[in-house]
């Protein structure tokens, strides 16, 4: 059988340079024991993954080191923190820095999640400091953007997301941006059961990719992974991931159940 370039039997793969990512954002859920069995169950399934596919567990801080040691022998599984502080170290009781995360082997950090923006007052200015810390510490930011229902209804989502990116990601160099993953998460779809349609997701992802081409360069536009988040689940992952500019998902609720996460991982 002759394989087309970029196509491996049994898998679809549009662009070998781009990473296809499924990241589970556990948020403030699960006990240590539950988290431990979730990761064991997912790793034990040993599902086949194409070389540019990867899975990430964004675990709460107290579980990260354990999850990190569980995934360390699985080359396509990584850990992410759900937040980091704006500084490297110092008298900031209760905070965790990117430097600390890097020192235990964490590879990624979610920044700009709408829950952090809304409940913890994280502005673009704060996010720039966090992005800088993450990059200086060698972490890869998973940077979230996305509009509210009101903005979507007004039809100004493209302008809104452009502003979010101009105030943050676009202030960095192409080399720094190349270490990021963009997560498009329409706020109206997060935890609501409402998902963006494949068409809505594709339109926004293509729009963001075009902005990246224009702000940075064409090859970064091709290479950067843009993942979708907001009620992504086994029933809709295949359709969403089938869109040419959707490179995977940031998964909340469905990342807490091993079978669901595994099904999503196999939805490319």
Contact residues for ligand PGA, defined by CB under 6 A: 25, 185, 190-191, 229-232, 250-253
Residue 151, token pair as written in the block? 């903005």
* CB hemisphere CA count around 260 (13 angstroms): 17
Least distance (Å) from ligand PGA to the CB of residue 165? Answer: 18
Q: Considering beta carbons, is residue 25 or 102 the nearer one to ligand PGA? A: 25
Burial class (CB in 10 A: 0-12, 13-18, 19+), 207: middle
Whole-angstrom Cα Rg for the chain = 17
Dist CA 101 CA 39 (whole Å): 19
Least distance (Å) from ligand PGA to the CB of residue 109? Answer: 14
Question: Which residue among 53, 85, 113, 205 is the active-site one?
Answer: 113
Does the annotation count 122 as an active-site position?
A: no
Q: Considering beta carbons, is residue 106 or 237 the nearer one to ligand PGA? A: 237
Residues 6+ apart with CB under 8 A from 183: 23, 110, 142, 143, 144, 145, 226, 227, 228, 229, 250
Least distance (Å) from ligand PGA to the CB of residue 68? Answer: 20
Does the annotation count 113 as an active-site position?
A: yes
Q: Considering beta carbons, is residue 107 or 221 the nearer one to ligand PGA? A: 107
What is residue 2's DSSP assignment?
P
Q: Which single residue is written with the structure tokens 């991982």?
A: 265
Reduced to 3 states (helix: H, G, I; strand: E, B; else coil), residue 150 is helix
Least distance (Å) from ligand PGA to the CB of residue 16? Answer: 26
The number of residues in the chain equals 268
Q: Considering beta carbons, is residue 180 or 215 the nearer one to ligand PGA? A: 180
Dist CA 232 CA 225 (whole Å): 17
Closest chain position to ligand PGA (CB): 252
The set of catalytic residues is 113, 185
């Amino acid at each position: 059988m002759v394989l087309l370039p970029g196509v491996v039997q049994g898998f679809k793969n549009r662009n070998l340079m781009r990473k296809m990512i499924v990241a589970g954002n556990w948020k403030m859920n699960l006990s240590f024991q539950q988290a431990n069995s979730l990761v064991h169950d997912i790793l034990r399934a040993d599902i086949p993954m194409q070389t540019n596919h990867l899975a990430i567990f964004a675990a709460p801080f107290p579980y990260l080191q354990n999850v990190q040691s569980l995934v360390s022998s699985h080359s396509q599984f990584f850990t992410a923190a759900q937040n980091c502080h704006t500084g490297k170290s110092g008298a900031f009781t209760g905070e965790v820095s990117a430097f600390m995360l890097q020192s235990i082997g964490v590879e990624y950090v979610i920044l700009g999640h709408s829950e952090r923006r809304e409940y913890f007052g994280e502005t673009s200015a704060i996010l720039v400091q966090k992005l800088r810390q993450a990059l200086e510490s060698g972490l890869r930011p998973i940077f979230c953007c996305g509009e509210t229902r009101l903005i979507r209804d007004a039809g100004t989502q493209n302008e809104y997301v452009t502003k979010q990116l101009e105030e943050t990601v676009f202030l960095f160099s192409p080399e720094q941006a190349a270490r990021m993953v963009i997560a498009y998460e329409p706020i109206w779809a997060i935890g609501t059961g409402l998902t963006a349609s494949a068409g809505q997701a594709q339109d926004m992802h293509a729009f963001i990719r075009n902005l990246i081409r224009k702000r940075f360069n064409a090859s970064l536009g091709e290479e950067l992974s843009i993942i979708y988040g907001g009620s992504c689940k086994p029933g809709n992952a295949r359709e969403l991931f089938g869109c040419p500019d959707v490179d995977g998902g940031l998964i909340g609720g469905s990342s807490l159940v091993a079978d669901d996460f595994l099904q999503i991982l196999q939805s490319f």
